[in-house]
Amino acid sequence: MSKGLLIVLSGPSGVGKGTVKKEFIDDPDLKLSYSVSMTTRKKRPGEVDGKDYYFVTKDEFLKKKENGELLESAEFVGNYYGTPLAEVERLRNEGRNVLLEIEVQGCMQVMEKVPDAVTIFIVPPSMKELENRIRGRGTEPEEIVQQRLAKAEREMEMSSNYRYVVCNDDPRMAADIIRVIIRRSMQKTEEK
Ligand code: 5GP
């Protein structure tokens, strides 16, 4: 059995990564497991500890990072985020394809450590549409919305570092394109 793929999904805040992901994550042919990240950010309404994120304190986070327990980590709008390494390795060794949903700094670290990672960047149909989506979520104060928008502009400039760029005009269509990318990547590793 070959080791599972490492798939990285990125894109600016509000682009709809979660919605797109929901459309393909349970497809049995793709053998996907989602890597639950660790974060110091506050839980949003409806989020579940251990499912959406592992919600930890800053001290806990920094200790894990120091001990080399994170595959990558980044600070994003005042909070820390990181990918627990052991879980990713365990799943890949079981032949599962592991999906990370992380921001661009983290993806750059992954690319260095895992050069054959399948990296996918999701873009919005336009920046105006992205702004509408961020505001539409309505969960954050204006100051944070502004920070997320500024961050989004910078993140968009990093899209050329990714292997694939997919536009989320329609989440089901974007998910279909990602399915093709994953299936083809699986075939390529089998051919090796
Ligand atoms: P949010 O606070 O909206 O859930 O996430 C903010 C950003 O952090 C998103 O772009 C999300 O993809 C990213 N993110 C979530 N988990 C991780 C992680 O483990 N590492 C990194 N580098 N970014 C993450």
Query: With bands split at pLDDT 50, 70 and 90, how would you rate the model's confidence at 156?
Result: very high
Q: Please compute the mean of the pLDDT values over residues 86-93 and round it to a whole number.
A: 97
138, pLDDT greater than 80: no
What pLDDT is attached to residue 148? 86
User: With the C-alpha atoms ordered 77, 78, 79, 83, is the resulting torsion angle positive or negative?
Assistant: positive
Residue nearest atom 5 in ligand 1 by C-alpha distance: 13
Query: With bands split at pLDDT 50, 70 and 90, how would you rate the model's confidence at 134?
Result: confident
Residue nearest atom 14 in ligand 1 by C-alpha distance: 102
Query: With bands split at pLDDT 50, 70 and 90, how would you rate the model's confidence at 66?
Result: very high
How far from 9 is each of 1, 58, 100, 191, CA to CA, in Å? 24, 25, 6, 24
As to burial, measured by CB atoms within 10 angstroms (0-12 exposed, 13-18 middle, 19+ buried), residue 192 is exposed
What pLDDT is attached to residue 186? 97
Q: Which two tokens stand for residue 98?
A: 């592991």
What pLDDT is attached to residue 107? 97
What pLDDT is attached to residue 126? 94
Residue nearest atom 3 in ligand 1 by C-alpha distance: 13
Q: Report the mean per-residue pLDDT for the chain.
A: 95
The closest of 79, 71, 74, 78 to 35, measured between CA atoms, is 71
Percent pLDDT > 90 in the chain is 85
139, pLDDT greater than 80: no
Q: Which two tokens stand for residue 128?
A: 């105006």
61, pLDDT greater than 80: yes
Tell me which of 41, 73, 81 to substitute to probe ligand 1's pocket, judged by most ligand atoms within 8 Å of the beta carbon: 81
